[in-house]
Structure 1
Amino acid sequence: MAWCLQDGDAIVLPMPVSEEFLRYVTATLGIARDSVRVLVPPPGRLGEGVLSQDRLTDEDFLTALRESVQAHGIDNILPFHFDSSVAELTRELGLDKATPGFGFLDQSGGRLLNSKSTFRALAGGTGAPVPPGGVFSSRKEAETFLWERLLSQGQPAILKQDFHVAGFGNEIVSPSSGIDPLGALRTVTAESRTDLDAYLTERWPWLTDGGRNHVVIEQYLPESTPIYAEVRIEEHGVEFTGHGEMRMKPVLNGLIVPAPSAELPAFAGFLNAVHRLCRPIHAMGYRGIVSIDAIVTPDRNILINEFNCRTGGSTHIHRIGERIVGDGYFEERVLVELRRCTFPDFATTVQALSDQGLAYDPATRTGVLITVDDNSASGGFGEYCVVARDAEHARELENAVADLLAPLCAKD
């Protein structure tokens, strides 16, 4: 979220951010560090890792946030996800009337549009190409569909919780072994209907969140490449932000921007389907970021498999492209973000990148940016983004960073 900052902003975080990292981000963005206020509410019933409702309604925190809003003339709120707690906070700050689409979001619209079953309904209504599948609330119907339509025909299936992110709510069920669980936590083998019955008996409560939600079941297509497109839905319509390829290992582990598959004949149809999907979302009253996920199948077709109406895992990369790399970044540069990387301490990493000539250089518009620094008690991890002239140059920079960091981490 820090990469979305502008002069005069206040940023609300679940735990303190490293001052070194914050100065690095603001300097890279070209804004004054002293103009930005960081607010961290006291730990709540879920601890310090989650911005739970009790934390956002803490009186001392609200007083400090109101002061920042008034002192800096803040008139916009950009949450990671616009849930009921954020809606309440928006009203408390008097920003509800100035927030586009607030009426929709205030009535749990954000939850509705982050539902995988809602996606399947809107995709069906707009004719978007999707993997064969359906939405189920009955375990019996789900079992019949899985066995008769997929597993007995030799086809694996992916089962998705209605509400989750980055593949952490997905599992794959296959009639045979050897299926890599890309985009899911694991693969379960069900060679018979008895095996399937045993699996569903164990996992149905988890898949349905105790029977409260639907389950989305789709044919799983091995060897497919996950991609996405990000757009912004404004009052006047839909604005394209960018697209990319998602690295899965097995769940989301990085991005390649722009998507290499953009050269495929099917890609134009994918972008057309994205815009068709966004029309009813616009008409419903949602305003904000939408990320639409898809797969490039082995036969080079593109099937859309979900959308997320919230700040996405790609949003900060496109902000970096727009604000740091500059005009033409999408046509002239390749950005590769790597996640779950092991780092030495932040200052050592920054200095090492600079000493080796790998740090991002505004003059050449190439180099490496540290996008996330985990300075928590269990830290030692982070994310970085390579900005390169082309795919080959990106690989060279990525390999150079890996070679640089490995011995440094070994010392730690």
Structure 2
Amino acid sequence: MTETGPIVVFANFLSDLAVDLAEGQILTQWARQAPRKAWLLRPGDVFVTPVPLSREFLRYVYDLTGVPPESVAVVEVPPAGAVPLARAVREAGLVEHVRALAGDRGAALLPTALDASAIAFARDVGIAVHPYPTVEAAEAAVDVTMLLNTKAGFRETAGRLGMRLPAGRTCRRPEAEGVARELLRDHEGVVVKPDRSAGGHGMRFVSRDDLRGGASLLLDAVGGPEGLWVVEECLDVAESVSVQLEVTATGARALFSGAMRTAQGSFTGYASPLPPSCAHVAGEMEEWGMALGRHLADHGYSGPFGLDGLVDADGIAYASESNIRRTATTTPHAMVTRLTAGRAQSHPAWSVSKGWTRSPMDFETALLRLRASHLAFDPERGEGVVLYADAPPDGRSWRYAVIARSAGDVKEQEAALVEVFAFEGG
């Protein structure tokens, strides 16, 4: 991750960057994905996690990545409610422990979200924030990071950068119903989004049918902050897509693109590369992403970010939002790249998704089932299924990645997994 020293992987899913901290339940749910950050660990690194990791999962990660278990430190932070991870570390009295583990080896903090709390924590521990040269440089990027993780901030910036956007308006929540009614005069449906939300959380879909009989749209019942909201036309969406990029010292560059799997606007999975049905939008999405990357660089940001888009039934792409942080696909992509390094297929196809088993399993049982069916990731072939996020708390809602040489092979292996794990609806 750095050439000079170890990384303190800081899984601060509990952050006000993507969602208001008042939305504690969804943040706690997202934090359960913290184990996937173990795929980033190298010898000498420290992992600060808000949820415990099973020994079986850690052994599995270390076996596949070749990291000696004794060469890394995992700091499990006790639950402290819907508060930033840095505060939970302080309340648990673990700051000195993390400082001692980081040592004086030129370590840097790698937060999931670059927010004020993470920067303050880096100062407390006495380390830099990756990939910035100083804590001050990271702090200077917080304003643009916070702004472009909002729907309103993105619409305003994307418009200036020349991206195609769905028709829409930004307003205060009490005005949302009136704005929705205005847009419904020209559009069959609208989507109402809280300004700061991620993964589809808090979105509300409203159609013309909801107006019949003079009924209220009951948008005042939508949860979330009282601040800004965005009301947009609801496109006839054929695909939800994204391009993931990064800003480095030499400029912005595209890393990968793919199609998102969604249900009612909520993220449920991802497949890369883009399928043939929407591969034609890759160039335009990348062009928009590069423009956004240049804008971010001009405002001091460095690191990964994503640009999401919607492809309508006519094959036209629209930009929908930006995620200026490590997203749900950043770490899986890093894992795929790491596990397939040196293979002939330098750009393998891959997917991440989630399935529900009919009965609970622990990690060891799930892995045995994978291996018995010959679906488990094989380092020799550089293909197979990876249980990338540990056993879920309920033992049923399993996150997995599939890595293969082609999109067709990914689909084939995923179909086999659905059968082997007896996923509901399979």
Shift of 1:122: 0.9
**Any conservation in 2 of the 1:290–1:309 contact (CA below 8 Å)?**
yes
Shift of 1:363: 2.0
Distance change >3 Å, CA 335–CA 265, structure 1 → 2: closer
**Any conservation in 2 of the 1:322–1:329 contact (CA below 8 Å)?**
no
Given the alignment, which residue of 180, 198, 202 partners 1:146? 180
* Partner AA of 2:379 in structure 1: P
Given the alignment, which residue of 395, 398, 403 partners 2:411? 395
What SS is found at the alignment partner of 1:269?
helix
Matched, 1:373 2:390: yes
**Any conservation in 1 of the 2:108–2:127 contact (CA below 8 Å)?**
yes
Given the alignment, which residue of 124, 144, 149 partners 1:92? 124
Distance change >3 Å, CA 74–CA 20, structure 1 → 2: farther
* Partner AA of 2:220 in structure 1: T
Matched, 1:8 2:44: yes
**1:132 maps to what in 2?**
167
User: Where does 1:278-357 land on structure 2 (aligned, <5 Å)?
Assistant: 278-326=293-341, 332-342=347-357, 344-357=361-374
Given the alignment, which residue of 108, 111, 117 partners 2:152? 117
Distance change >3 Å, CA 255–CA 84, structure 1 → 2: same
Distance change >3 Å, CA 104–CA 215, structure 1 → 2: farther
Matched, 1:363 2:398: no
TM-score by length of 2: 0.83
Shift of 1:233: 1.1
- Figure out how many residues of one structure are paired with residues of the other and give that number: 382
**Any conservation in 2 of the 1:9–1:74 contact (CA below 8 Å)?**
no
Distance change >3 Å, CA 162–CA 330, structure 1 → 2: farther
Matched, 1:27 2:63: yes
* Partner AA of 1:398 in structure 2: E
For 1:62 and 1:276, the matched residues in 2 are separated by 39
TM-score by length of 1: 0.85
Distance change >3 Å, CA 301–CA 327, structure 1 → 2: farther
Given the alignment, which residue of 185, 200, 209 partners 2:219? 200
Matched, 1:233 2:267: no
* Partner AA of 1:147 in structure 2: R
Shift of 1:235: 2.2
**Any conservation in 2 of the 1:57–1:89 contact (CA below 8 Å)?**
no
Shift of 1:169: 2.0
What whole-Å deviation, never above 9, does each CA across 1:52-103 have from its counterpart, x for those lacking one? 44313247301110111006x2522111112222111011111247751743
**2:398 maps to what in 1?**
382
**Structure 2 unaligned spans of 5+:** 1-36
**1:185 maps to what in 2?**
none
User: Where does 1:165-180 land on structure 2 (aligned, <5 Å)?
Assistant: 165-176=198-209
Given the alignment, which residue of 214, 220, 229 partners 2:228? 214
For 1:341 and 1:329, the matched residues in 2 are separated by 34
What whole-Å deviation, never above 9, does each CA across 1:101-125 have from its counterpart, x for those lacking one? 7436536423223111111111011
**Any conservation in 2 of the 1:371–1:382 contact (CA below 8 Å)?**
no
Given the alignment, which residue of 241, 257, 261 partners 1:247? 261
**Any conservation in 2 of the 1:242–1:330 contact (CA below 8 Å)?**
no
Say which is worse superposed, 247-256 or 100-109, in terms of deviation. Answer: 100-109
Q: CA RMSD in A?
A: 2.5
For 1:220 and 1:385, the matched residues in 2 are separated by 30
**1:191 maps to what in 2?**
212
Distance change >3 Å, CA 261–CA 91, structure 1 → 2: farther
What whole-Å deviation, never above 9, does each CA across 1:118-168 have from its counterpart, x for those lacking one? 11111011001111112112633x4443222x3123421111111111001
Shift of 1:280: 1.1
* Partner AA of 1:405 in structure 2: F
* Partner AA of 2:211 in structure 1: A
State, as a whole percentage, how many aligned pairs show the same letter: 26
Say which is worse superposed, 55-64 or 159-168, in terms of deviation. Answer: 55-64
Distance change >3 Å, CA 34–CA 190, structure 1 → 2: farther
**Any conservation in 1 of the 2:243–2:285 contact (CA below 8 Å)?**
no
Shift of 1:282: 1.0
**Any conservation in 2 of the 1:56–1:89 contact (CA below 8 Å)?**
no
For 1:15 and 1:97, the matched residues in 2 are separated by 22
Distance change >3 Å, CA 135–CA 105, structure 1 → 2: farther
* Partner AA of 2:384 in structure 1: G
**Any conservation in 2 of the 1:228–1:244 contact (CA below 8 Å)?**
yes
**Any conservation in 1 of the 2:278–2:315 contact (CA below 8 Å)?**
no
**Any conservation in 1 of the 2:378–2:384 contact (CA below 8 Å)?**
yes
**1:44 maps to what in 2?**
80
